[in-house]
Structures are given as structure tokens and as C-alpha cells.
Amino acid sequence: MAHMSSNAADSPAARGTYRVKRGLAEMLKGGVIMDVVTPEQAKIAEDAGACAVMALERVPADIRRDGGVARMSDPEMIEGIKAAVTIPVMAKARIGHFVEAQILEALGVDYIDESEVLTPADETHHIDKFAFTVPFVCGATNLGEALRRISEGACMIRSKGEAGTGNIVEAVRHLRNITGDIRKVTQADSAELFQWAKSLQAPLPLVQEIAETGWLPVPLFCAGGIATPADAALAMQLGAEAVFVGSGIFKSDDPAPRAKAIVEATTHFRDPHILAKVSRGLGAPMTGIGMDEINQRYAERGW
């Protein structure tokens, strides 16, 4: 950093601070982050108004169908997608696989998703996310899980839902778990907060912070099962601040119009007239599957 004549610039600029990492999550609010597997899909997503893309090799519906071990994507594929768009590019690392995260940081991705959609690499530990310059998002099914991820350095939480199902029921359950417990914590007195911290298995200072502010210290987004504009608006009305759409766009009959409609629905989530307008004539959504038809619940991964 070159010296300026002013006093203000005497200290060096700071990169990778909590504020800088959390700042990008703030910029993604009200937006749609779309899973893409090719540069062409990334361009369709950007054209449709996605605020970011998630670069991966297979969308969750295909990971679910194919089985086997799901890992970080090939760096060549991530670089191809980075070159195709100007919006932020995210990528997934396996739970606890800090070397995959180191590689993704070296590739210059803008956000890392330590994701239960990939096969976990560590069944006890998540990644120490404070050790990285790049920010992390992690999934959560309830408030305790969200706070454990935040205590490890996650700068954004997404409700997990059940990826690759096109079924919103688990996302709704997880959002209601998180926001419902936040409401209860705000009603607790100072003595009860100690018990809340124990039952949530979460650090007391974070529980006390929620009691004071009434919200998580980082943004809460929704993922796992959004397939229609109405699904996106439902997540937003339930308290999500932005949405991730995985298989829901590129597993539908006509991805581009559906992607645009979900973007509009996420912005105008409280206006049923606009939601009715954008929901028309989108072709068939992804077929989707019921929770009793799946043999692997990704949401159970994470500790």
C-alpha cells in the first residue's frame, strides 16, 4: 500500500476481516444464488439476475441419483465458470475438508460453502473458518447448529432444507426451527439464557447477543428444495434474507424463464399480484420427491 499524504492511511489495509467477509453476505441479501455446472448455465443465471452462482460438478438431484462420494469440483470447471460471469462465484467443500477449502481459496472463489450436499470428510470437526481470507457459508437445521457454525467463523448461514428434492417441506421446517427459537430466546430472562446455551449446545455470548438483537449475527439465507417462485417467496416471508436454488432451475423444463421468475419473486416476496404474474406459464418445475422416498437425508450431516 503506497503512502498517502493523509494520516488516515498510515496503518495497512486489512483483508479477510470478519467485517469484510460478512460484508459480502450483506450484499447478496434479497438475491438468488443459483447452482450451475457449466459456463453456459452460469451465463443463463447471470442473465436472469442471479446475485451469485454456485459452481459445482453435479446439481444435488444428480448427486442423489448417482450416489457414491461427492467431492469438491474440478478446479478447471470452477475457473471456466469464473471466467464466464462477472458476479460472485461460490464453490462447495466437504464438511471438515480444509484442504479442499485451501484449494478453493487459492482459486479465488468469492465464498466457500462447507456443504452437507457433498460427502463429509470429517464426522466430528467442521473447518476452522477463521483461518481463511475467503468467507464461508454453512448449513443449519436449527439455531444451535447455526450458532456452532458461526462460532467456527461462518459469515452466512443457510437453512439446509433437503437438497435435490424440489420439496420445500424441510426448508420450511429448518427456517421455522431457527426463527422460532430466536423468538423464544428474545423472551428469555438473563438466567434462562444459560440454560438456552446448554440446550442449544452453543456459546453463551452468541445466545446473549441474539437475546439482545433478536436476530443472528450473520445473514440467514434459505437452501434445499426451492423449485418455484412461490417457494422462494415463502422462504423470504418465513425470514430468509436470500435464497439458494440448486436443482430447481436447471432440472426444470425451461430454466431461463424460471430463473428470472424466481429472482423477481425473491425481490417482490410480499406482493401476491407480482408473484401471480411471474408464476405464469413457466413450464413444468422439477418433478421432486417426497421425504419418505429418499434413503439419504443430507441435512443430517453436520455436527
Partner 1 sequence: MSSPSRPDTGSADPTGTTPVVGVLALQGAFQAHQAVLDRLGARTRQVRTPADLAGVDALVMPGGESTTMSRLLHTAELFDPLAERLAAGMPVFGTCAGMILLAAEVLDGRPDQRSFAAIDIAVRRNGYGRQIDSFEHEVDVDGLDAPFHVVFIRAPKVERTGPGVEVLARHDGVPVLARQGRVLVASFHPELTDDDRLHAMFLAMVPPSAARAA
Catalytic residues: 92
Residues 259-278 that bind partner 1 (CB under 8 A): 260, 263-264, 266-268, 270-271
Instruction: Work out the number of other CB atoms within 10 angstroms of the CB of residue 58.
Output: 17
DSSP 8-state assignment for residue 120: P
Cell of 100: 479442499
Cell of 234: 415463502
Pattern 129-158, binding to partner 1, x per CB under 8 A?
Answer: ----xxx-----------------------
Pattern 191-230, binding to partner 1, x per CB under 8 A?
Answer: ----------------------xxx---------------
Residue 238 within binding range of partner 1, rule CB under 8 A = yes
Instruction: Work out the number of other CB atoms within 10 angstroms of the CB of residue 208.
Output: 17
Residue 108 within binding range of partner 1, rule CB under 8 A = yes
User: Please, what is the minimum distance in Å from the beta carbon of residue 244 to partner 1?
Assistant: 15
Nearer Cβ to partner 1 (28/121): 28
What do you get for the CA distance between the two ends of the chain, in Å? 41
Q: What's the CA gap between 221 and 154, in Å, rounded?
A: 13
Nearer Cβ to partner 1 (56/89): 89
Q: What's the CA gap between 136 and 150, in Å, rounded?
A: 10
Interface with partner 1 (CB under 8 A), residue from 16, 180, 205, 283: 16
User: Please, what is the minimum distance in Å from the beta carbon of residue 62 to partner 1?
Assistant: 27
Q: What's the CA gap between 252 and 286, in Å, rounded?
A: 4
Residue 83 within binding range of partner 1, rule CB under 8 A = no
Q: What's the CA gap between 73 and 247, in Å, rounded?
A: 16
Task: Provide the angle, in degrees to the nearest 10, between the axes of the packed helices 143-151 and 169-187.
Answer: 80
Beta-bridge mates of residue 35:
54
Segment near partner 1 (CB under 8 A), from 47-55, 162-170, 282-290, 292-300? 47-55
3-state secondary structure at position 228: coil
Q: What's the CA gap between 136 and 101, in Å, rounded?
A: 9
User: Please, what is the minimum distance in Å from the beta carbon of residue 211 to partner 1?
Assistant: 13
Which residues are at the interface with partner 1 (CB under 8 A)? 1-2, 4, 6-9, 11-17, 19-20, 23-24, 26-31, 46, 48-52, 86-88, 105, 108, 110-111, 133-135, 179, 182, 213-215, 236-239, 241, 260, 263-264, 266-268, 270-271
